[in-house]
Amino acid sequence: MNDSVPLAALLDSVAPLSSGRPGRPRRRPGKLHADKAYDHRRCRRSCRTRGIQPRIARRGVEDSQRLGRHRWVVERTFAWLGRMRRLVTRYERRVDIHYALTLLGCSLICWNKLQGKF
């Protein structure tokens, strides 16, 4: 299945963001940065109906390098998770164990980044 098909369900499942200010938290983010795979009318329409400004690269028009500074954070984090061999090749059949190992991997990444900061 193409990644753009379940985009509406993904946008609905985003947890509320806390801005640190008093009051009701925002329901959704203000912008969505995506690559050319999401360049469909349905993706732009689903973003706009939810009050999200789509920042989607257009096929054949825009260079994909413009979104690189935003996507680099995600790609870097996936590369860090890729160093954990148990997550790269999924040996577990149960989803809960794989999810727990993914959380453990994310915790180790955060621990390594925070070491020496305090």
Q: Give the DSSP letter of residue 26.
A: B
Q: Which residues contact 82 (CB under 8 A, 6 or more apart)?
A: 88
Return the pLDDT at 103: 93
pLDDT in tens, 70-104: 667 777 888 888 888 888 888 888 889 889 999 99
Q: Is the pTM of this model over 0.75?
A: no
pLDDT in tens, 5-43: 888 888 888 876 666 777 777 677 788 888 788 888 999
Rounded CA separation 95/116 (Å): 34
Paired tokens of 9: 């369900």
Helix (H, G, I), strand (E, B) or coil at 54: strand
Rounded CA separation 96/17 (Å): 25
